[in-house]
A = this chain, B = another copy of it.
Amino acid sequence: MDDKSVPNIVVGRLPLYLRTLQLMNQEGRRVTSSQELGERLGISAAQIRKDLSQFGEFGKQGTGYSIDYLTDQLRQILHVNKVWDVAVVGIGDVGHALARYQGFTNRGFRIVLLFDNDRQKIGTKVGEYMIHDLSDLVKMIREAGVHIAMLSVPADHAQHVTDLLIEAGVRSILNYAPINISVPANVHVQYIDPVLHLQRMTYYQE
């Protein structure tokens, strides 16, 4: 599935660069440098230049990067120069927070479908979006042509819902359930589990 030659770890840093450039743009800035990006991100300037050079020549020696231009290029490379529709499955506290999260705006994503299996929730709204019945998931996601989903169901439902999402044509899953899920080789999964991050820090604390 990683059919391009750029290492995964480099791909993982590009969204960080894009986020920082978009913040600089909001600050009214026009030009930056690998040094400045590096200082904001705690990454060496040389690493940033090397990462970007895998995709082309984006700056001139001595004059730095045009923030607008590099932003556009990174949005193209990451395929977020369009807006992706996203489904959220599991509208508990986490799913609810995701459905209302303002941070997707202008970063390439918009939530369009919400699902839950709780009769009390089905038919109610979060913001402007109705919560739909989980049993309609495959049909509705297929019809809407949605390819990205966020999964915020309990751990013991995660694999079953994953199988439904794949049947529906989803190819990228952001999994908030604290469990690893199995997917075919052409489907991407990323995980968010705050406890993993916390434990990674307590290792260094006494």
Residues of chain A whose beta carbon lies under 8 Å from any beta carbon of chain B: 1-4, 11-12, 14-16, 18-20, 23, 40-42, 77-80, 84, 86, 93-94, 96-98, 100-101, 103-104, 107-109, 147-148, 150, 155, 171-172, 174, 178-180, 188, 190-206
Q: Which residues of B contact A109 (CB under 8 A)?
A: 195, 198
Residue of B nearest to A93 (CB): B97
This chain: copies in complex: 2
Q: Which residues of B contact A100 (CB under 8 A)?
A: 93
Q: Which of B4, B41, B178 contacts A103 (CB 8 A)?
A: B178
A3 CB → nearest B CB, Å = 8
- Interchain Cβ contacts under 8 Å between A and B, 24 examples: A1-B204, A3-B204, A12-B200, A14-B199, A14-B200, A14-B203, A15-B195, A19-B195, A41-B180, A79-B203, A79-B206, A103-B178, A103-B194, A104-B195, A107-B195, A108-B199, A108-B202, A109-B198, A148-B202, A148-B205, A172-B198, A172-B201, A174-B194, A188-B201
